[in-house]
Amino acid sequence: MDDCVARATSSADGELELGPDAALLVLTGAGVSAESGLPTYRGSGGLWRSHAFERLASPEGFQADPALVWRFYSERRDAALKARPNAGHRALADVERRLGERFLLVTQNVDGLHRRAGSERLIEIHGRLLGTRCSGCNRPESPDETAYAEGEVPRCEQCDSALRPAVVWFGEALDPAHLEAVDDFLDRWRGGQLVFLAAGTSGAVWPAAGLVDLARSRGAETWLVNAERADNAGRFHHVRRGPSGTLLPELLGRRPS
Ligand code: OAD
């Protein structure tokens, strides 16, 4: 265990305590929205168990059948708009209010629930379900809550190409500025108590799954909150198994001492 980890103030029972010089980087995945009624991707009831992701979540799938892709994402939009943030989302928004610039939330979720819970220091690395952009030109992304009718494919007003959901698909690169922002955060706060917490994510999708190693390389104490064993669970110092709607408020409920 390196120096910084030794200095991190976790009590004997593995309680996460955020000291006065604490900085917290959080990574969330679909499991955090499960208690809001939204399905995850893997595991029982997961979307990629019943839906072919290569047809629904790839540029090639969109090119082959844009109406099918829009049907899928219109259903997701409907579900996300009906869902409400849960206690896990709210606990993250609360701890952000306490830590200010010493907090950063990176989410793989596209459902918008973190923002609706009040999170602002937020990086949505897989984009936004409630946004639309053009598949053909660089027209800027626009907010769009529309659940399109069966067979409907919206067109770009600038170039007439098919518009697409503003989410990142398989085979597409993440915005390098997002990864730089994470790197900058870790660099900026590495001298104090640096904590990395991942919640509700299977650790199966990169580069998000590698953030634990990046954080550890900067001396962070690392925590995982997940319902089932994540693929990268062995990389964390502390693992809590259970629902994030209960465990995140428990772990983050304390005020900095
Ligand atoms: P996954 O569906 O891969 O994993 C969700 C994880 O959450 C699983 O490990 C579950 O055990 C856990 N889980 C379920 N309910 C939970 C609860 N109430 N509390 C805590 N944990 C719970 O979702 P992600 O890891 O987010 O990308 O998947 C990453 C990416 O893969 C997604 O952003 C999406 C997907 O393909 C794209 O669409 C590009």
Q: Is 17 helix (H, G, I), strand (E, B) or coil?
A: coil
CA 41 / ligand 1 centre spacing (Å): 6
Contact 164, 188 (CB under 8 A): no
Does the CB atom of residue 200 touch ligand 1 within 6 A?
yes
What is the pLDDT at residue 159?
Answer: 97
The Cβ-side half-sphere exposure at 123, using a 13 Å CA radius, reads 20
Report the nearest-CA residue for atom 17 of ligand 1.
243
Structure confidence at residue 175 as a pLDDT band (50, 70, 90) = very high
CA 7 / ligand 1 centre spacing (Å): 31
Does the CB atom of residue 29 touch ligand 1 within 6 A?
yes
What is the pLDDT at residue 257?
Answer: 39
Indicate the range of 39-43, 94-98, 230-234 predicted with least confidence.
39-43
Does the CB atom of residue 243 touch ligand 1 within 6 A?
yes
In the chain, % of residues over pLDDT 90: 86
Report the nearest-CA residue for atom 15 of ligand 1.
31
What is the pLDDT at residue 254?
Answer: 53
Which amino acid is present at 23? Answer: A
CA 9 / ligand 1 centre spacing (Å): 29
Q: Is 22 left (phi over 0), alpha (psi -120 to 50) or beta?
A: beta
Atom of ligand 1 nearest to the CA of 244: 19
Does the CB atom of residue 108 touch ligand 1 within 6 A?
yes
Q: Which DSSP letter does residue 174 get?
A: P
- Catalytic, out of 89, 114, 126, 237: 126
Structure tokens at 155: 């067109």
Does the CB atom of residue 126 touch ligand 1 within 6 A?
yes
pLDDT, one tens digit per residue, over 11-24 is: 334 679 899 999 99
Q: Across residues 17-44, what is the average pLDDT?
A: 94
User: Which single residue is written with the structure tokens 């990086």?
Assistant: 123
Q: What is the pTM of this model?
A: 0.93
Return d(Cα 193, Cα 142) in angstroms, integer: 38
Structure tokens at 151: 């067979």
Cβ neighbours of 181 (radius 10 Å): 16
- Is 238 a residue of the active site? no
How is 237-252 classified by DSSP, letter by letter?
SEEEES-HHHHHHHHH
Mean pLDDT of the chain: 92
Report the nearest-CA residue for atom 32 of ligand 1.
108
Q: Is 116 helix (H, G, I), strand (E, B) or coil?
A: helix
pLDDT, one tens digit per residue, over 45-83 is: 889 888 888 999 999 999 999 999 999 999 999 999 999
254 or 81: which leads in pLDDT: 81
pLDDT at 118 over 60: yes
Report the nearest-CA residue for atom 39 of ligand 1.
169
pLDDT at 105 over 90: yes
Contact 238, 14 (CB under 8 A): yes
What is the pLDDT at residue 15?
Answer: 77
Structure tokens at 89: 């989302």
